[in-house]
């Protein structure tokens, strides 16, 4: 009976004909604790939370686009305010921060396009759909942020050799605080929505906004250093900002790279396996595969069922899919092959 499975459409709307409890296993998925855990959570947040995910692809894309629209305008407003202060102060650290804020705002555009592309139906050429566009947008985000770090470093190094007096330093302090507030607001919003819909690229964009927020605080530190009589504090902070961007970007590179290599969080495999084991009639799970396509999951499994008729096996598969859809709301499609315990 190998290969018995039902058609499962992308926009699945299930009717709950009966109630049963599902346990969402953690799969022993652990993370650093203490101070290291605090910073890990800040800059390498989960890209997926199975318990809170949205189970409708269209709704998930709409929420992602809405998050990008709102955060784009917030970041552009923050960038304009900071650039005005750059013009009246000459702060290279603030200039570096402004460049990065602007680049972070621009990264919303390709991600926006990717969400729109992801809504298109599959074709003969792209039989799995266009979800990968979202992960490719993540690569673009990484490239833009890396370039902005190089530009900021160049400006800071040049200021070491060609120092210029700074003006209106209290305005620089104010601009740094505004930059932190604007970016942290955007970061919280993007990361929350990204986790909810399972979008690694949107979470990555949120992490970049959070990095921007902390670099804005570094600008404040540089301005205070100049006020205290240390003029090189400004370019030094500019270099620190550039280095911090590159270091913290590594976590995002790993996350996006894992998606492109069809890697998933082990906890998702554990959760899916547990859901299959809980279905009546399934004796064991021989194979469980999942992969992300944008912010949606696709998968395949092989299960062993008790000796039963073809009709009973089909009923078992339907119940197994029903439980998987509850355990993994991001799941778009799963193919379940069935083997008899006697074979």
| Domain co-membership, 278 together with 225 | no
In a domain? residue 216: yes
Q: Are the beta carbons of 75 and 186 closer than 8 angstroms?
A: yes
Question: Of 260, 295, 311, at which residue does a domain stop?
Answer: 260
Question: Of 230, 260, 290, at which residue does a domain stop?
Answer: 260
In a domain? residue 35: no
Structure token digits, residue 40: 């890990």
Q: Which residue has the higher pLDDT, 160 or 23?
A: 160
| Domain co-membership, 117 together with 148 | yes
- Angle at 340 (CA atoms; ends 339, 343), nearest 5 degrees: 95
| Domain co-membership, 294 together with 217 | no
pLDDT of 300 > 50? The answer is yes
Contact partners, residue 101, CB within 8 Å, separation at least 6: 75, 78, 79, 82, 179, 182, 183, 212, 216
Give the separation between CA 184 and CA 214, rounded to whole angstroms.
8
In a domain? residue 335: yes
| Domain co-membership, 209 together with 286 | no
**Predicted confidence (pLDDT) per residue in 187-226, tens digit:** 888 888 888 877 777 887 787 777 777 777 777 887 788 8
Pairing of strands 331-340, 282-293: unpaired
In a domain? residue 189: yes
pLDDT band at 114 (very low <50, low <70, confident <90, very high): confident
In a domain? residue 34: no
Instruction: Tell me the mean pLDDT in the region 7-20.
Output: 41
Q: Quickly tell me which residue has 């890697």 as its tokens.
A: 263
Task: For residue 338, give the 3-state DSSP assignment.
Answer: strand
Structure token digits, residue 334: 């799963």
| Domain co-membership, 13 together with 61 | no
Question: Of 232, 260, 288, at which residue does a domain stop?
Answer: 260
Give the separation between CA 317 and CA 276, rounded to whole angstroms.
9
Structure token digits, residue 73: 């305008």
Give the chain's domain count.
Answer: 2
| Domain co-membership, 238 together with 220 | yes
Contact partners, residue 236, CB within 8 Å, separation at least 6: 156, 222, 225
Q: Are the beta carbons of 100 and 245 closer than 8 angstroms?
A: yes
| Domain co-membership, 147 together with 285 | no
Cβ neighbours, 10 Å, residue 244: 16
In a domain? residue 105: yes
| Domain co-membership, 51 together with 192 | yes
* CATH code of the domain covering residue 298: 3.30.70.1350
Cβ neighbours, 10 Å, residue 280: 12
Contact partners, residue 249, CB within 8 Å, separation at least 6: 142, 145, 146, 149, 211
pLDDT at 289: 92
Q: Which of 165, 144, 162 is nearest to 154 (CA)?
A: 162
| Domain co-membership, 143 together with 216 | yes
pLDDT band at 269 (very low <50, low <70, confident <90, very high): very high
* CATH code of the domain covering residue 66: 1.20.1510.10
**Predicted confidence (pLDDT) per residue in 177-193, tens digit:** 888 888 888 888 888 88
Q: Which residue has the higher pLDDT, 56 or 295?
A: 295
In a domain? residue 336: yes
Phi, psi of 66, rounded to the nearest 5 degrees: -60, -40
pLDDT of 58 > 60? The answer is no
Q: Are the beta carbons of 129 and 121 closer than 8 angstroms?
A: yes
In this structure, the dihedral spanned by the alpha carbons of residues 50, 52, 54 and 59, taken in order and rounded to 10 degrees, is -140
Instruction: Tell me the mean pLDDT in the region 65-78.
Output: 82
Q: Are the beta carbons of 26 and 266 closer than 8 angstroms?
A: no
Determine which of 57-71, 79-93, 97-111, 278-292 has the lowest per-residue pLDDT on average.
57-71
Give the separation between CA 174 and CA 158, rounded to whole angstroms.
25
Beta bridge partners of 338: 303
Q: Are the beta carbons of 76 and 186 closer than 8 angstroms?
A: no
Q: What is the span of the domain harbouring residue 101?
A: 40-260
Structure token digits, residue 226: 């100049």
| Domain co-membership, 214 together with 168 | yes
pLDDT at 122: 81
pLDDT at 343: 58
| Domain co-membership, 214 together with 306 | no
pLDDT band at 123 (very low <50, low <70, confident <90, very high): confident
| Domain co-membership, 310 together with 256 | no
In a domain? residue 229: yes
Q: Are the beta carbons of 288 and 276 closer than 8 angstroms?
A: yes
């Amino acid at each position: 009976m190998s290969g018995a499975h039902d058609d499962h459409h992308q926009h699945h709307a299930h009717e709950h004909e009966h109630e049963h409890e599902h346990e969402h296993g953690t799969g022993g998925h652990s993370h650093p604790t203490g101070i290291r855990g605090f910073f890990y959570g800040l800059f390498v947040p989960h890209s997926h939370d199975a318990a809170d995910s949205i189970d409708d692809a269209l709704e998930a894309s709409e929420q992602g686009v809405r998050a990008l629209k709102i955060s784009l305008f917030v970041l552009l407003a923050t960038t304009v305010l900071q650039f005005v202060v750059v013009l009246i102060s000459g702060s290279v650290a603030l200039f570096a921060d402004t460049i990065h804020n602007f680049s972070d705002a621009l990264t919303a555009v390709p991600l926006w396009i990717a969400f729109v592309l992801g809504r298109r139906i599959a074709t003969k050429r792209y039989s799995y759909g266009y979800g990968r566009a979202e992960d490719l947008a993540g690569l673009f985000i990484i490239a833009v942020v890396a370039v902005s770090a190089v530009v900021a470093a160049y400006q800071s190094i040049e200021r070491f050799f060609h120092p210029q007096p700074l003006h209106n330093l209290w305005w620089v302090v104010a601009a740094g605080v505004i930059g932190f507030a604007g970016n942290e607001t955007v970061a919280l919003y993007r990361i929350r929505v990204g986790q909810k819909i399972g979008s690694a690229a949107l979470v990555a964009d949120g992490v970049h906004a959070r990095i921007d927020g902390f670099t804005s605080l570094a600008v404040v530190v540089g301005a205070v250093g100049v006020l205290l009589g240390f003029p090189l504090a400004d370019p030094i902070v500019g270099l620190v900002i550039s280095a911090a961007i590159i270091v913290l970007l590594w976590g995002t590179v790993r996350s996006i790279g894992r998606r492109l290599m069809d890697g998933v969080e082990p906890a998702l495999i554990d959760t899916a396996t547990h859901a299959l084991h809980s279905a009546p009639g399934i004796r064991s799970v021989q194979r469980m595969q999942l992969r992300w396509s944008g912010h949606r999951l696709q998968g395949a499994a092989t299960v062993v069922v008790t000796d039963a008729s073809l009709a009973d096996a089909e009923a078992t598969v339907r119940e197994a899919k029903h439980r998987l859809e509850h355990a993994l709301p991001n799941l778009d499609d799963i193919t379940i092959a069935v083997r008899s315990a006697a074979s």
